[in-house]
Amino acid sequence: MAEVTMVAALNAALRDALSGDPRTLVFGEDVGALGGVFRVTEGLQAEFGGERVFDTPIAEAGIAGICIGLAMAGWRPIAEMQFDGFSYPALDQVISHLAKYRQRTRGRVGVPAVVRIPSFGGIKGKEHHGESPETYYVHTAGLKVVVPSTPLDAYRLLRRSIDDPDPVIFLEPKSRYWSKEEGDLTAEGPGIGRARVVREGGACVVIAYGAMVGRCLEAATTLSADGIETTVLDLRSLVPLDVTAIGDAVRSTGRAVVVHEAPLTLGMGAEIVARIVEEAFDHLEAPVARVTGPDVPYPPAYLEQRYLPSVKRISNAVRTVVAY
Amino acid sequence: MTEIASTDAPMVRLVAPDGSVVGDVEVGLSGDERRELLRLMIRSRRLDRECWALQRQGELTVYPPFEGQEAAQIGSAFALGPEDFVFPSFRELAAAVVRGVDVVEYLEYHRGTWHGGPYDPIASRFAPICVPVATQIVHAVGWAMGSKLDGSTACSLAYFGDGSASEGDFHEGANLAAVFGAPAILFCQNNGWAISVPSNRQFAAPIADRAAGYGMLGVRVDGNDVLAVYAVTRDAVERARAGEGPTLIEAITYRIGSHSTADDDARYRDEAEVAAWRERDPIDRYRSYLLGAGTIDDAFVRGCEEEAEAWVGGIRTELTALGEPPATEMFDHAFADPPPTLLAQREELLGDG
């Protein structure tokens, strides 16, 4: 079994999609000769040509907007926003059109586009390079929002996203780009909308997505040494949200902690806690805790580890919830 | 009187406001096609006025009239082929009529029974009505890029207004079109006003002049001269089909009515200005020209008017008979494959119905 990084897995997913469907297009800023600033599209232009894999001008609204026209002309666009912080100029096209086109056309015109956005913090990036934009997209009806946490799952989820008939915002956790995993890329696995239990334990469930899944696993290892066994649930997609898996995990443990990088207020944790209350109130043994970024702009590199949920903060939250 | 920016700049004109010939009117249209243009203009204006009345009678929610812009819309849409794709803004009902869009379905938007694309956009080659101004320009460019990738000669045409030209999406769309050599026509109807703001508060130089900065051809045309509009658009279509890329057309016209039925134009412009533009009416001009050329007679005009009357009556009957859309539709089209959480909301809100 080969070991692959998330970058290599995403690259393979794009390559396989381009090979499998001649209507697939990959475009964005610097995705051609350079292969993208993170090299996710490396080699694709050489292999598939400049018509199917192409650089665009620096025009994020344009990149999102041409997805609509290309889809109407029968193409399957896979667009890259270079960084989370640069995806905001495209929000009008994403919110007003990408998300709504199927609805606006009474179901006649869907836009099977994927917008890939390298997201979240943890790589000592400059400002505007460590944003957690998921809530903007999750709150926009008509979009699916997918966040992989491991290389193999990144491959699987990106392939599923490309095949999806609806627009998918695909948030790639930059800090996991160089993480490695061994296994068969093309192995069957759960689709979009299914969460994954990555570790089982009876004391508490820790719910996370993206790079925070790894951190929660680290916390679980620490806690295990003290005899506290936790379940770690990787959501994998935020829309659809696997409410069933969340409910099942909370019902079996009675305790939950939600972890994300995004600021606390109206972050995914707010929605997840509300769902827990609706699904499993009678099973709760303790208030649900949230471990998130604070409600401040993402900090500079030297402070980002103070901002991001740490193994210690996650562990402490679990201990508090378990001791309640 | 507020002068429309760029009105004084040179523009293509073939027929003067009094109907006299001032350019080469041999634009390749047969007598039947010339008559058809007038017929479309007459029926579109009749429809526009009916829509205003329908709104006042409570049958439409809000309606944006296009009176005065018939030549700009019909001349340009008439120059397109059946495979070409129009990306309208929200005032292009006359262009929709030319393209054969189902008018009752189109008006469902203004009735409030559905959103921007109640008709079949793919079958009618007419994208959904687009209110976030200028966003549709980028869609048109994307479609044209796709057409070029397919090796097709079909082109797209995006309609937008003078106000839209101030948006960033105009710039991104124009630049993308030029860089990719996309067979797209960017057709600006400069009608003088963006709701209450005159075009000289939108830009300080003619819109068509921007084309040079993008590396495409820019053309300014008298938007109330249907033959001139047809001719410049047809030229742009031919260039697009020949692989010569996009064209920016600025059609100088005027919005005779308010921005919409919810607007009160007396608050920001003089009636004298409107009256002056009525003197440059596109239908009067073209009718005078055709009568002078012997292409039509008064009986033809009367026939067009009677035909328009009957046609609009049928539309009114069909439109006013429309019921409330089923509430299930709110949920049916949000996703091809709706998330379980959405299905639960549907169940909660609608139960079995």
Q: Note whether B257 and B312 are same-domain residues.
A: yes
The domain that holds B267 is classified in CATH as 3.40.50.970
Q: Has residue B14 been placed in a domain?
A: no
Residue B345 lies in a domain: yes
Arithmetic mean of pLDDT, A78-90: 97
Instruction: Name the CATH superfamily for A3-182.
Output: Thiamin diphosphate (ThDP)-binding fold, Pyr/PP domains (3.40.50.970)
- B286 within some domain: yes
Mean pLDDT across chain A: 97
> Considering the domain boundaries, does residue B279 fall inside one?
yes
Q: In chain B, where does DSSP find H-type helix?
A: 31-56, 70-78, 93-99, 103-111, 121-124, 135-149, 168-179, 210-214, 226-241, 271-278, 282-293, 298-320, 329-332, 340-350
Give me the number of domains chain B comprises: 2
Q: What is the pLDDT of residue B351?
A: 84
**Domain identity same for B208 and B120:** yes
> Are B139 and B163 part of one and the same domain?
yes
Task: Tell me whether B160 touches chain A (CB under 8 Å).
Answer: no
Mean pLDDT, residues A204-212: 98
pLDDT, position B166? 97
Q: Are residues B316 and B351 in the same domain?
A: no
Q: Is the pLDDT of residue B208 over 90?
A: yes
Query: Residue B7: pLDDT band by 50, 70, 90 thresholds?
Result: low
pLDDT in tens, B153-191: 999 999 999 999 999 999 999 999 999 999 999 999 999
Among residues of chain B, what percentage have pLDDT more than 90? Answer: 94
- The interaxial angle of helices A311-323 and A211-225, nearest 10 deg, is 60
Domain spans, chain A = 3-182, 196-323
Q: Given CB atoms, is B21 within the 8 Å cutoff of chain A?
A: no
Q: Do residue A103 and residue B115 have CB atoms under 8 angstroms apart?
A: yes
- pLDDT of B1 higher than 80: no
Q: Report residue A22's pLDDT band, with 50, 70 and 90 as the boundaries.
A: very high
Output the average pLDDT for chain B. 95
Same domain membership, residue B222 and residue B335: no
Give the pLDDT confidence score for residue B352 in this predicted structure. 65
Chain B, nearest residue to A165 by Cα: B336
**Residues A187 and A133 sit within 8 Å (Cβ to Cβ):** no
User: What band does B2 get if pLDDT is binned at 50, 70 and 90?
Assistant: very low
Whether B343 and B264 map to the same domain: the answer is: no
Check B138 against A68: CB less than 8 A apart.
yes
In a domain, residue B1? The reply is no
Nearest chain B CA: its distance from A318 CA (Å): 28
B82, B167: one domain: yes
The reply to whether residue B128 touches residue A101, judged by beta carbons under 8 angstroms, is: yes
On whether any CB of chain A is under 8 Å from the CB of B343, the answer is no
Please tell me the CATH code under which domain A196-323 is placed. Answer: 3.40.50.920
If you average pLDDT over residues B126-132, what whole number do you get?
A: 96
Question: Is the domain of B253 the same as that of B118?
Answer: yes
Do B105 and B79 share a structural domain?
A: yes
pLDDT of B5 above 80:
no
Q: Which of B83, B143, B328, B347 to mutate to test the interface with A (most CBs of A within 10 A)?
A: B143
Domain of residue B335 covers 325-353
Report ipTM (2 d.p.).
0.96
Query: Is residue B17 one of the residues assigned to a domain?
Result: no
Let me know whether B289 and B314 are in one domain: yes
pLDDT in tens, B30-63: 999 999 999 999 999 999 999 999 999 999 999 9
In a domain, B188, yes or no: yes
- B158 with B202, same domain? yes
**Domains A3-182 and A196-323 alike in fold:** yes
In terms of phi and psi (left: phi > 0; alpha: psi -120 to 50; beta: otherwise), the region of B294 is left
Q: Is residue B76 part of a domain?
A: yes
A270-283 mean pLDDT: 98
| Position B353 confidence tier, pLDDT thresholds 50, 70, 90 | low
Same domain, yes or no: B254 and B118? yes
Q: What is the pLDDT of residue A249?
A: 98
pLDDT at B118: 83
Q: What residue in B sits closest to A192 (Cα-Cα)?
A: B339
pLDDT band at B13 (very low <50, low <70, confident <90, very high): very high
